[in-house]
Structures are given as structure tokens and as C-alpha cells.
Amino acid sequence: MPDFLAKLGVEHPIVLAPMAGGTGTPQLVAAVSNAGGLGSWGGAYSTPQQILDAARAIRALTSKPFAINLFAGGYEPERTVDPAPMLALLGDIHRELGLTAPVLPPNPRSPFDDQLAAVIEARPAVFSFTFGLPDADAFARLRRAEIVTCGTATTVEEGKRLAEAGVDSIAAQGEEAGAHRGTFINSFKASMVPMRALTRGLLKETRAPVIASGGIMDGREIAEVLGMGAVAGQLGTAFVACPESGAPQAYKDAILAARSDDTDITRVFSGRPARGLRNRFMAVAREEWILPFGQQNDLTRPMRGEAGKQGKADYLSLWAGRGVAQARSMPAAELVRTLVAEMAATR
């Protein structure tokens, strides 16, 4: 499978992880693609028009292939959770930040279908997805548009389901990974498989090209997963502190100061388990107060947005993988060049 990326016109086995929510900017995506990696843009929180605009912005900066990523599921039905305790906590934090009182947003429905139509119109080289499995009609439309697909698996069982559905490649998301868990079959707890074991399992039990992700921070680790048979490594946390990343400065500073045991899995920001650096909000928000994914995310958005502006890392979602202690701050193209040199040094 080594020609999977070559067929796409991607020179190096390095994939910039999609990072929805502002961290992954068109500038970051284009910088990685221009440097010979595959840049991915996360469109999960974007409207169809914003997806089209982002694709245009990326194309203005690069003629190289890139990926667009969406959440293919994850939205939950209304639950009978009393919103009062979460609203009370956020009320205190809003006051501290100088914001007006929080308002309970409606529980949103999945925007996936409308977003996918925009992705198909934008025609990126690759469409990657997480949190689920699109239906057969979606795959047929993507195939007709000649868009290569990449589905996220956190277990071998999920990888087999993706392969049966006809995905062109699988992103193996190990438990080390920063941000949301892509899990869509079994419990989140049972799906915390280390990146190396998951990559090996997927390579053994599916025939799809596997892109290993979770905790990969340097070229030596990319060479290691290629040695196992993966076609590439997908790195998120490694790129968060790059100048082209849209992460607030307080988030970049926290990443660069973090130690390897500073991360934990939390649901408090969005309602869905995700790995990030421990901070005050994770300590004070209780599990039983959390609203469904989507609604909880919308409810905490004003807090996160204002905290970013005020440089308060305590109220930001500081998504980071277990490799965070190795994070470096350098322009994305230089990071890609460094990763390539580190890979070469292992030969």
C-alpha cells in the first residue's frame, strides 16, 4: 500500500490532523500540503458556506491536495438532564469573564448531510470523517466526485465496518490522541486502544491503507508506524503551537509548557469524551451535569471564546495528545521538513 499517498500526489507520509473549531486554519492546511504532507481542514463546526469558503481559501494558497473532515455522527437525542447546575456554574464563570448570563441553546440536529453536500461541491482530494459511518449513498456520491475517503476507527471492529462500507483508508485513532474520541460502536471506555496495538490490529484484519494517529510527535515515531505497515502518521497536537494554527495564544503556551501526564479524558466541554490538558473547568464541572453532545458544546462556546480572548487557559478546551511534552513551536513547513529529516535519520 505504499503508493496510497503517491497516487494522491502527496510526497511525505505526514498527515496534518483535521482540527475543527479554529485551530486548523486554511493557512496551516496549505502550509503542510505545500511542504509535501497532506493538510486536512476540519469543517465539523462550519456551515456549508463556510466549508466552501475554506476550500477556496486553501486553494488560493496551494495547488496541492488537501482533505476536508466532518463529524459523521455523534449528535445525541434530547436527554432528561436538569440543565440548572451546569447553567449555574457557567453563570459564575460568565460573570468572572464579564459575559452576560449563559442561555440554554437548543439540542442541535446533526448538520452532516448539508455539510457533506458542500464538501462534495468543494471536491477536496480527500474526505475524512470521524464519530460514525456515512451511508452507502454518501459513499456513492463521494466516489462519483472522485473524492478519496478516510474513516476514523478507534477499534479493529470499527475498522472492519469502515472497510466493509468501502472506505479507501482508515485513520487509526489510538487512545493517546488529542481531542474527541472517534468511537462509534462500543463504549468509549472499551475503545481506548493504544495506537500501536490498534494500527497492528487494523493492518492484520482489514485490507485498507492505515494512517496511524495518536501521540505521534516526531519523525522517528512516523518511521516506526511506517515500519509496522502504516501508510502515514497523522499528527494533531504537534501542529497546534505552529504560528499558522488558529489556537489562542494561551492554548499554545499551555501546550508548550505541558508534561506528558498532564492530559485527561473529559466530556465537560462538548458532551463527548476528548483528551485535553487538565484545567479548572475540567475540575469543577461535574459529569452528571453534562448535556448531550452538540448542546453542551454550544453552551460552553461563549465561555471558550471569551477565555481565548482574555488568555485564560482555565476555561479553554486545551485538546492535546499524550505526546504533548514533545510539542515544538515552528512554522508548519519547517515542522514538516524537520519530521522528514528525523524519519531519514532512522534509516
Ligand X SMILES: Cc1cc2nc3c(=O)[nH]c(=O)nc-3n(C[C@H](O)[C@H](O)[C@H](O)COP(=O)(O)O)c2cc1C
Alpha-carbon gap, residue 148 to 191, rounded angstroms: 26
18 binds ligand X (CB under 6 A): yes
Per the structure block, which three cell numbers stand in for 226? 511506517
- Residue 293 has which C-alpha cell? 453532545
CB half-sphere exposure, 345, CA atoms < 13 A = 10
Residue 308 interacts with ligand X (CB under 6 A)? no
Return the number of the residue (88 or 330) whose C-beta is nearest ligand X.
330
What is each CA distance from 163 to 139, 169, 325, in whole angstroms?
12, 8, 34
Q: Residue from 14, 30, 44, 211 that binds ligand X (CB under 6 A)?
A: 44
Task: Choose one: 27-35, 154-162, 229-237, 263-271; the region binding ligand X (CB under 6 A).
Answer: 229-237
Q: Which of residues 235, 327, 333, 343 is near ligand X by CB under 6 A?
A: 235
Burial class (CB in 10 A: 0-12, 13-18, 19+), 99: middle
Among 152, 183, 263, 300, binds ligand X (CB under 6 A): 152
Residue 219 contacts ligand X per CB under 6 A: no
Q: How far is the CB of 66 from ligand X (least distance, A)?
A: 14
DSSP per-residue string spanning 178-235 = SEE----SS-TGGG---HHHHHHHHHHH--S-EEEESS--SHHHHHHHHHHT-SEEEE
Q: Contact, 193 vs 174, CB < 8 A?
A: yes
Q: Contact, 14 vs 340, CB < 8 A?
A: yes
Question: Does 214 help bind ligand X (rule: CB under 6 A)?
Answer: yes
The distance of closest approach from Cβ of residue 180 to ligand X in the complex, given in angstroms and rounded to an integer, is: 6
Question: For ligand X, how many residues bind (rule: CB under 6 A)?
Answer: 28
Q: How far is the CB of 147 from ligand X (least distance, A)?
A: 16
Minimum distance from residue 321 beta carbon to ligand X (Å) = 2
- Residue ranges binding ligand X (CB under 6 A): 17-20, 23, 42, 44, 69, 130, 152, 173, 176-179, 213-216, 234-238, 240, 319, 321, 323
